[in-house]
Amino acid sequence: MRTLDWIVLLSSLISIVAYGLYRSRGSSTVDRYLLAGRTMPWYAMGLSIMATQASAITFISTTGQSYTDGMRFVQAYFGLPIAMVVVCATVVPAFHHARVFTAYEYLEKRFDSKTRTLASLIFLAQRGLSAGLTIYAPAIVLSVLLGWPERVTTTLMGATVISYTVMGGIKAVTWSDVQQMGVILLGLVVALITVFVLLPHSVSIGDAVYLAGAAGRLNAVTTNFAWNDQFNLWSGLFGSTFLFLSYFGCDQSQVQRYLTGKSVSESRIGLLFNAVAKIPMQFFVLFIGAMVFVFYLFNSPPLLFQRVELERIQASPDYAAIEQDYQRGVEHRRQAALNLARAHREGAADRSADPTLVTEYRAAEREVDTARTKAAALVPRMGGEEGFRDTNYIFLSFVIRYLPPGLVGLVIAVVFAATMSASSGEINSLATVTVIDLYRRYVRPKASDHHQVIAARWATLFWGVYAVAFAGWGKRLGSLIVAVNVVGSLFYGSLLGCFVIAFALKKVRGTATFIGMIAGEAAIFWAFLHGGISYLWFNVIGCAVVVGVALLVTAVWPERTDQPAGA
Amino acid sequence: MPAPREPIDDPPPFLGTWRRVYGAVLLYLAALIGLLAVFTHAYR
């Protein structure tokens, strides 16, 4: 990174923190500290929700995902608008009218304290695990690409997040999210324009899109169905609807965003804004990855983008042959791409030439892909990571190598912004659940407002330090980082089942729901351990088992009418 | 301490009812999937 990059990076970070703190003045009561006094406008909520969802690793991975696998990942968001409509129609008014701080507080009003506590603990376990990984995952990428020590990166990001989250509470989190979202969008637009500018003069934007499509990188909708296929139209419409219902209906890191709304309408519009904007945004990010793929058709890409692992496999006796095959494949592909682009431009004159050229182009692409697969397989054989994939390194490696000074700093600022927005939301929600659902419920039920604010600040500091410490320990977790999304899905299904019962099945009461949740968790873990099912389906399975078992228990063993506290 | 404000449940700022707004969002999703399917087919 050059001086200009540092100036852009540091000024972006400082302005984000300063703006967040400026907008958070007066967060002196627990209602203001944790829920911004329920005064937030819809656009701040909507942008904050989007920013919290977009962690750095999602952003880095998504571009790499479309480079290697095409744009079909966008289908994982098809369930989002459906889930948003359901959440707006049911959950949002219920939570607002119940005047709760957390989603789990509502469960005690509806069921009993043990169901609330179990749900809170499931949330703390799941979100606590991902809080550390949210900071660690981009740190490892920056460490490999820029040579920055992981501990320095995690500490810098962690300290920044902790400072404004502890001081300003949810208001600082939300307003800094708004600015972070601005940095992210600016960075994305600039990155796409730069990719287009860097294409060879003989290749137009139309040619580039055509070449990406011919290589199968613009497969935004795929209708083939398989249980173990993560991204297709069906898993997107059904599996991801359940995932987003869980995320927005039961995960405090999202619920807390829309509880800050000054009215039910503001919260609903904030969520519906997310429903409308998210798919185009993901499409845009994936499209950048597809265009980076086209860029590398004409600029020889490294055999592996992760340079540490590339250096490692160079010691293997098989490396030279793989590298030779790869370079040959890259040259074939470049020539085939140029021929195809030319034919595409002159397409009207000689359309019949295309099929042969497309076949040639795809064969060359397979050559390149085969060499890369062989190189990736060498990594564990040479003592590297098992199941190695370098998807996360593709986009940033391109940025660092090809973007002009200033823009590199801007894209690194995007990575920092995305990390901080996701992390601050997590830390803030973990602190809220700790204080409201555990501390205030069991330790100090009569604590003063001031005492609760102090407790919330300490809890925020605790979870922030925990996240940084956990991130420092992250290296030892190895491939668990890859599985962070899967880990989330291990817990969401049973939480969703619990809330489905709370809103839709009035006859089912606390004990039956509690037993259903335990059975739901057991079913999800059974499905996970036996493999063969995409993680998006875990939410469906967990939810169905919780509801089914709770209904069965209610039928066999009807409970007397409970009178839960606070009902 | 002032009594907590009751949450306001206003009608939406456009389309008159929330039911219509939800319908519009779902129609938008269907149109978006349709557009993406056309995009996929056009560049296959």
Does some domain include residue A372?
no
Q: In 10 A of CB A112, how many CB atoms?
A: 21
For position A306, what pLDDT does the model report?
Answer: 82
**Interchain CB distance below 8 Å, B22 and A85:** yes
- For residues A406 and A516, membership in a common domain is answered with no
d(CA A489, CA A536): 7
From B18, which residue of chain A is nearest by alpha-carbon distance? Answer: A89
CA of B10, closest CA in chain A: separation in Å?
6
Cβ atoms of residues A400 and A60 within 8 Å: no
Residue of B nearest to A234 (CA): B33
Confirm whether A322 is domain-assigned: no
Interchain CB contacts (distance < 8 Å): A and B? 82
Residue A252 forms part of a structural domain: yes
Whether residue A27 is predicted with pLDDT greater than 80 in this model: the reply is no
Predicted ipTM > 0.90: no
Residues ≥6 apart with Cβ < 8 Å to A398: A292, A295, A296
For residues A483 and A490, give the distance between their C-alpha atoms in angstroms, rounded to a whole number. Answer: 11
Flag if B43 and A268 touch (Cβ within 8 Å): no
d(CA A372, CA A190): 29
Beta-carbon separation of A96 and B33 below 8 A = no
- Tokens for A343? 């034919």
Model confidence pLDDT, tens digit, residues A184-228:
888 888 889 999 999 988 888 988 999 999 888 898 888 887 776
Q: Name, in order, each residue with C-beta under 8 angstroms of A318's C-beta and a sequence gap of 6 or more.
A: A374, A378
The packing angle between helices A264-298 and A56-69, to 10°, is 50
* Chain A contact for B24 (CB, 8 A cutoff): no
> Averaged over A449-463, what is the pLDDT?
92
Determine, yes or no, domain membership for A464: yes
Rounded mean pLDDT, A17-29:
78
Q: Which of B5, B10, B38, B40 is most worth mutating to test chain A (most A CB atoms within 10 A of its CB)?
A: B40
Give residue A390's pLDDT: 81
Do residues A529 and A539 both lie within one domain?
A: yes
Domain that residue A125 falls in: 3-296+402-482
CA proximity to B40, closest of A77, A237, A286, A213 = A213
Residue A551 has pLDDT above 50, yes or no: yes
If asked whether residues A531 and A457 sit together in one domain, one would say no
Structure-token pair, residue A425? 């939301």
Q: Which residue of A has its CA nearest to B30?
A: A78
The answer, yes or no, to whether residue A133 has pLDDT greater than 90, is no
Residue A120: other Cβ atoms inside 10 A: 23
What local confidence, expressed as pLDDT, does residue B3 receive? 47
* Distance (Å) from the alpha carbon of B38 to chain A's nearest alpha carbon: 9
The pLDDT value recorded for residue B27 is 97
Using CB atoms, pick whichever of B13, B25, B43 lies closest to residue A209.
B43
Residues A475, A518: one domain? Answer: no
Whether B2 has its CB under 8 Å from any CB of chain A: the answer is no
The answer, for A358 touching chain B at a CB cutoff of 8 Å, is: no
DSSP string of A63-76, one letter each residue: HHHHHHH-GGGGGG
One domain for residues A419 and A557: no
Measure in Å the smallest separation between the Cα of A172 and chain B Cα atoms.
Answer: 23
Short-list A69, A139, A145, A131, CA closest to A391: A69
Question: What DSSP string runs through A296-334?
Answer: HHHS---S-S-HHHHHHHTTSTTHHHHHHHHHHHHHHHH
Which of the residues in chain B have pLDDT under 70? 1-9
Q: Which residues contact A354 (CB under 8 A, 6 or more apart)?
A: A340, A343, A344, A347
Assess whether A436 and A562 both reside in one domain. no
Task: Give the pLDDT score at B1.
Answer: 43
Q: Kindly report the CATH number assigned to the domain that includes residue A257.
A: 1.20.1730.10
DSSP secondary structure string for all residues of A230-268: SSSHHIIIIIHHHHHHHHHHH-HHHHHHHHTBSSHHHHH
The answer to whether residue A565 scores a pLDDT higher than 70 is no
pTM: 0.85
- Of A482, A503, A537, which residue sits at a domain end? A482
| Rounded Cα–Cα distance for residues A462 and A466 (Å) | 6
A282: helix, coil or strand? helix
CA nearest to B11 within chain A? A265
Nearest-CA distance from A567 to chain B in Å? 17
Q: Give the least confident one: A9-23, A140-154, A207-221.
A: A140-154
Distances in whole angstroms, Cα of residue A190 to Cα of each of A14, A193, A282, A415: 21, 5, 16, 14
Both structure tokens of A317: 């006796």
CB contact under 8 A, B43 and A213: yes
pLDDT at A161: 86
Residue-wise pLDDT tens digits, A381-406: 888 777 777 887 888 888 888 888 88
Q: Do A93 and B9 touch (CB under 8 A)?
A: yes
pLDDT value at residue A451:
92
Q: What pLDDT was estimated at residue A85?
A: 96
Query: Residue A40: beta bridge partners?
Result: A261
CA pair distance A503, A487, nearest whole angstrom = 26
Q: Are residues A526 and A516 in the same domain?
A: yes
**Local confidence band at A102 (pLDDT 50, 70, 90 cut-offs):** very high
For tokens 């040479």, the residue is A382
Q: Which of A84, A218, A262 sits opposite B40 (nearest CB)?
A: A218
Would you place residue A300 in the very low, low, confident or very high pLDDT band (cuts 50, 70, 90)? confident
Indicate if the pLDDT at residue A444 is higher than 80: yes
Q: Is the pLDDT of residue A350 over 60?
A: no
* Tokens read off for A407: 């823009």
Interchain CB contact of B15 with A (< 8 Å)? no
Across A88-92, A230-234, A383-387, B23-27, least confident range? A383-387
- Domain contains A122: yes
Q: Is B26 on the interface with A (CB under 8 A)?
A: yes
Q: What is the mean pLDDT of chain A?
A: 85
Q: Based on the domain organization, do A106 and A243 belong to the same domain?
A: yes
Whether the Cβ atoms of residue B39 and residue A218 lie closer than 8 Å to each other: yes
Lowest mean pLDDT among A38-47, A155-164, A479-488: A479-488
Q: Are residues A82 and A196 in the same domain?
A: yes
Q: What is the mean pLDDT of residues A232-241?
A: 85
**What stretch of H or E contains A168?**
helix A150-198
The distance of Cα A130 from the centroid of its chain, to the nearest Å, equals 10
Query: Are A500 and A546 found together in one domain?
Result: yes
Domain positions in chain B: 16-44
Q: Which residue of A has its CA nearest to B44?
A: A213
Residue of chain B nearest A221, judged by CA positions: B37
Examine residue A323 and state whether it is found in any structural domain, yes or no. Answer: no
Highest mean pLDDT (candidates A90-104, A335-349, A391-405, A472-486): A90-104
Cα(A490)–Cα(A385) distance, integer angstroms: 24
Q: What is the mean pLDDT of residues A143-157?
A: 78
Domain termination site, one of A446, A466, A482:
A482
Helix or strand holding residue A58 (H, E):
helix A56-69
Q: Which of A459, A482, A505 is the last residue of a domain?
A: A482
A81: nearest CB among B8, B12, B26 = B26
Beta bridge partners of A261: A40
**A279 and A200 in a common domain:** yes
Asked if residue A381 is part of any domain, the answer here is: no
pLDDT band at A490 (very low <50, low <70, confident <90, very high): confident
- If asked whether residues A87 and A118 sit together in one domain, one would say yes
